[in-house]
Amino acid sequence: MRALVALSAALLVCPGCVLDASFDYKYSEQEHKHFATSGVPDVALKTHDGRIEVRRSDGSNVDVTIEKRASTKESLADLVVEASQDGNRISVEVRSKHGRLGDWHFGMSPNARLIVTVPAETNLSAHSGDGSIDVERIAGRMDLSSGDGRIRASELNGDVTVHTGDGSVALDGTFRSLNASSGDGSVRVHTDASPSGDWVVTTGDGSITLEVPDGFNAGIDAHTGDGRVRVEDVSVSDVTGEIRRNSLKGQLGSGGKLVKLRTGDGSITLKRN
């Protein structure tokens, strides 16, 4: 996003210039961190600008690869990695040494991508100031956030909190409790099980899609400020309570924990897997 804004600004300043939209970084560097753990690790990841990818490993260790990129040697050196371990608590953060966003050369601000493998059961916190987050096949407590970027997470199991300031959210898994939100973007949740804790799914501007299995039991409270609430492939006889064009309140199946869906501007769709 920052790259696109900077490119637009550069074109306004110099409309006759030809710019390379690929943004090839001249300088890059990799660092590797290895952490031996026993039991369930608590892993905290943070980068000021860059993508975070987390995958499940077959072992009990945590491995992190940091890929730093910049347009100059000075801006590359400005990116520092701070890593620490206290028992099963692990923290890896990439930040600017001088507390600045760094060198902008036709949109190429320095960034750091984190590629991480963790045990199957891991408590995970991942934050990017500007970048996407992708997580797969993890069970535990998860807190994923991006200031500006999409978030994708599949085959999750546990208590999940997800937020992006600007971008779409797509989640798949078995959620005990769920809080998923986007300031500006669509949100899709696919699940194979009824909730064992309350769910809240919101977006300021975008559609919400909730895909549920047969036998899904929950209370439903859905409302859109400007759009429609649709029920597809789920028998209306299974829904009780109030149904209007832009809202639905009641229950699916035998009811249960509350699933709250809210969008300021966009459709809400409840459908069968």
Q: What is the SS3 assignment for 132?
A: coil
Residue 145 counted as domain residue: no
Determine the structural domain holding residue 71 and report its residue range.
1-118
Confidence of residue 15 (pLDDT cuts 50, 70, 90): very low
> Which among 100, 174, 99, 92 is positioned nearest to 139, based on CA atoms?
174
Residue among 150, 179, 153, 143 at smallest CA distance from 165: 150
The DSSP bridge partners found for residue 68 are 29, 112
**Total domain count, the chain:** 2
- CA-based nearest residue to 125, from 154, 91, 170, 95: 91
Percent of the chain with pLDDT over 90: 74
Asked whether the beta carbons of 212 and 191 are under 8 A apart, the reply is yes
- Within-domain flag for 205: yes
175 and 111 fall within a common domain:
no
Which residues, listed in sequence order, are joined to residue 180 by a DSSP beta bridge? 162, 201
Distance between CA atoms of residues 266 and 262, nearest Å: 9
pLDDT at 7: 45
Above 50 in pLDDT, residue 179?
yes
This prediction has a pTM of: 0.88
3-state secondary structure of 14: coil
- Residue 187 inside a domain? The answer is yes
The confidence score (pLDDT) of residue 139 equals 98
pLDDT digits (tens, 9 = 90+) for 38-85: 999 999 999 999 999 999 999 999 999 999 999 999 989 999 999 999
pLDDT for 6: 46
Question: What would the pLDDT profile of 121-152 be if each residue is shown by its tens digit?
Answer: 999 999 999 999 999 999 999 999 999 999 99
* Alpha helices for the chain (secondary structure H): 2-13, 73-77
162 and 105 in a single domain? The answer is: no
pLDDT bin (cut points 50, 70, 90) of residue 190 is very high
